[in-house]
C-alpha cells in the first residue's frame, strides 16, 4: 500500500534578531555605572567649588568694573589688588591657593578622566574573559565594541564641555583685568573647546591601548605618558604655528597682547642686538632710568635713543580660531583611535 502522507518538514529555524542599540546602550551604562558615578563625584566637587568661588570673585570684581575711567591709577591698583588676592592665593582659606592652583589641578584632569574611564572598557573584558560571553548574546563584536566605546565617549565629552563653561565663568574676572591671556598655554587648555577635546583624546587613546595590550594598568600608564608628551609638544611646537605669528614693533608686555613667542631689539643701525649687548647699553643708561620703579623706563629710554623693540605674537583675537583648529585635529585623532579599537576587536580571535 502506497502512503499518501506527505513527509514532515523540519521546522524552520527562526533567525535571531540582533540586540537593539537602545538595549546595548542600557547595558553599557549599567556596566559602567561605577565610572559614571566616580567621574560625576570628581567633577561635582570641582563644580561646587567653582560655583561658590565664582560668585564671591565676581562680586569682588564688580567694584573694578564700576571703576571709571578704567585707565585711572586707582582702578589699576584695584585690579592689581584683586589679581594678587584671588589669583595668587592670598585670599581666605576657601580660596584654596587661588586661581593659579585651581588651574594647575584642573590641567591634569583630562588625562586622569580619560585614562581611568577609557582603559578598563575593553581591557577588563579581555582580562576576565567575559568578552566571549558578550559576543554570544546577539550583539556581535562590532556592535558590542561600538556601544561600549561611543556612548561613554559622547557622555564624557558633553560633561567636560559643560564643566569648561563653568570654569570660564569662574575665570572671567582674571581675563577681564588682563592678569592672564586666554592664549597662554595653561589657560588655553582649560577654556573653550580644548578641555573637552583633550579629555576625549585621552579617553580614546586609553581605550585603544586597552584593546591593544588587553591589560588595564599598562594601558593607563602608556596613556598618561603619551598624553603628557603630546600636550607639551603641542604647547611648545605645534600650537604656535597654527597661524603665522604677527610681528609688531614695540613691546606690549601685558597679557592682553596675546601670546608673545619671541622679542628682540634693533640698534639704531638696524642690527639685531642680543641680551648681552642690551646689558651693556643698560650700564650706560642714567641712574634715574636704571633704578626707576617703572618697568617700562628702560624700554622708553631705548626708544628715545633710536633703538626699536620688536616682538612676534599670536594675538588674543585668534583664541577661538586656535580652539577650533586644536579641537578639530584632536577630534580626528580620537575618532581614528576609537575606530582602531573596533578594528582590533574584529580581528581578535575568540
Query: Is 70 exceeded by the pLDDT of residue 350?
Result: no
- Asked whether residue 6 is assigned to any structural domain, the reply reads no
Q: What pLDDT was estimated at residue 100?
A: 77
User: What is residue 111's predicted lDDT score, i.e. its pLDDT?
Assistant: 93
Give mean pLDDT, residues 219-244: 94
Q: Are both 86 and 26 inside the same structural domain?
A: yes
Q: Judge whether 4 lies within some domain.
A: no
Per residue in 67-122, pLDDT (tens digit) is: 888 777 888 888 888 877 777 654 444 444 567 788 888 889 999 999 988 888 88
Instruction: With beta carbons less than 8 A apart as the criterion, state whether 318 and 243 touch.
Output: yes
Residue of 178, 151, 162 lying closest to 255 (CA atoms): 178
The pLDDT assigned to 95 comes to 45
Q: Are residues 273 and 234 in the same domain?
A: no
Does residue 261 contact residue 314 with C-beta atoms inside 8 Å?
Answer: yes
Residues 183 and 267 in one domain: no
Q: Is the pLDDT of residue 7 over 60?
A: no
Examine the domain organization and report whether 206 and 326 are in the same domain.
yes
Same domain, 207 and 326: yes
* Judgement on whether residues 213 and 337 belong to the same structural domain of the protein: yes
Backbone φ and ψ of 228, nearest 5°: -60, -45
Instruction: Count other Cβ atoms within 10 Å, centred on residue 271.
Output: 9
Per residue in 156-210, pLDDT tens? 999 999 999 999 999 888 888 877 788 888 889 998 899 999 999 999 999 999 9
Task: Assess if residue 334 is contained within a domain.
Answer: yes
3 belongs to a structural domain: no
Looking at the structure, tell me whether residues 126 and 275 fall in a common domain: no
User: pTM of the prediction?
Assistant: 0.81
Does residue 278 share a domain with residue 233?
no
> 94 and 39 in one domain?
yes
85 and 224: one domain?
Answer: yes
Range of the domain at 206: 21-243+319-347
> Are 97 and 51 within one domain?
yes
Q: Does residue 227 sit in the same domain as residue 171?
A: yes
In this predicted model, what pLDDT tens digit does every residue of 301-339 receive, in sequence order? 877 778 888 888 898 889 999 999 999 999 999 999 999
CB proximity list for 246: less than 8 A, separation 6 or greater: 312, 313, 314, 315
pLDDT at 336: 96
Report the b/e string of 306-327 with b at 16+ CB within 10 A. Answer: ebebebbbbbbebbeebbebbb
**12 found inside a domain:** no
Query: Would residue 252 count as lying in a domain?
Result: yes
Q: Is residue 15 part of a domain?
A: no
pLDDT exceeds 60 at position 1: no
Give the number of domains in the chain: 2
Amino acid at each position: 500500500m502506497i502512503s499518501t502522507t506527505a513527509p514532515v518538514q523540519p521546522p524552520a529555524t527562526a533567525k535571531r534578531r540582533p540586540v537593539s542599540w537602545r538595549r546595548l546602550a542600557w547595558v553599557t551604562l549599567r556596566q559602567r555605572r561605577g565610572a559614571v558615578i566616580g567621574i560625576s563625584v570628581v567633577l561635582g566637587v570641582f563644580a561646587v567649588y567653582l560655583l561658590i568661588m565664582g560668585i564671591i570673585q565676581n562680586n569682588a570684581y564688580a567694584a573694578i568694573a564700576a571703576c571709571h575711567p578704567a585707565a585711572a591709577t586707582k582702578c589699576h591698583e584695584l585690579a592689581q589688588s584683586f589679581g594678587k588676592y584671588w589669583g595668587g592665593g592670598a585670599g581666605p582659606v576657601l580660596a584654596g591657593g587661588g586661581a593659579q592652583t585651581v588651574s594647575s589641578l584642573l590641567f591634569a584632569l583630562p588625562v586622569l578622566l580619560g585614562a581611568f574611564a577609557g582603559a578598563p572598557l575593553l581591557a577588563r573584558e579581555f582580562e576576565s574573559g567575559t568578552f566571549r560571553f558578550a559576543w554570544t548574546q546577539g550583539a556581535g563584536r562590532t556592535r558590542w565594541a561600538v556601544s561600549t566605546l561611543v556612548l561613554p565617549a559622547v557622555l564624557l565629552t558633553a560633561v567636560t564641555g559643560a564643566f569648561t563653561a563653568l570654569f570660564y565663568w569662574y575665570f572671567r574676572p582674571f581675563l577681564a583685568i588682563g592678569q592672564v591671556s586666554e592664549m597662554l598655554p595653561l589657560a588655553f587648555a582649560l577654556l573653550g573647546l580644548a578641555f573637552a577635546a583633550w579629555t576625549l583624546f585621552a579617553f580614546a587613546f586609553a581605550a585603544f591601548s586597552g584593546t591593544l595590550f588587553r591589560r588595564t594598568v599598562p594601558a593607563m600608564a602608556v596613556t598618561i605618558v603619551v598624553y603628557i608628551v603630546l600636550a607639551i609638544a603641542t604647547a611648545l611646537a605645534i600650537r604656535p604655528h597654527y597661524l603665522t605669528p604677527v610681528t609688531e614693533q614695540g613691546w606690549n608686555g601685558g597679557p592682553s597682547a596675546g601670546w608673545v613667542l619671541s622679542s628682540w631689539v634693533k640698534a639704531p643701525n638696524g642690527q639685531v642686538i642680543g641680551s648681552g649687548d642690551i646689558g651693556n647699553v643698560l650700564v650706560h643708561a642714567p641712574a634715574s632710568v636704571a633704578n626707576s620703579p617703572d618697568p617700562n623706563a628702560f624700554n622708553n629710554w631705548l626708544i628715545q635713543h633710536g633703538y626699536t623693540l620688536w616682538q612676534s605674537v599670536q594675538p588674543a583675537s585668534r583664541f577661538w580660531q586656535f580652539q577650533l583648529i586644536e579641537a578639530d585635529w584632536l577630534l580626528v585623532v580620537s575618532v581614528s583611535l576609537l575606530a582602531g579599537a573596533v578594528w582590533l576587536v574584529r580581528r581578535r580571535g575568540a
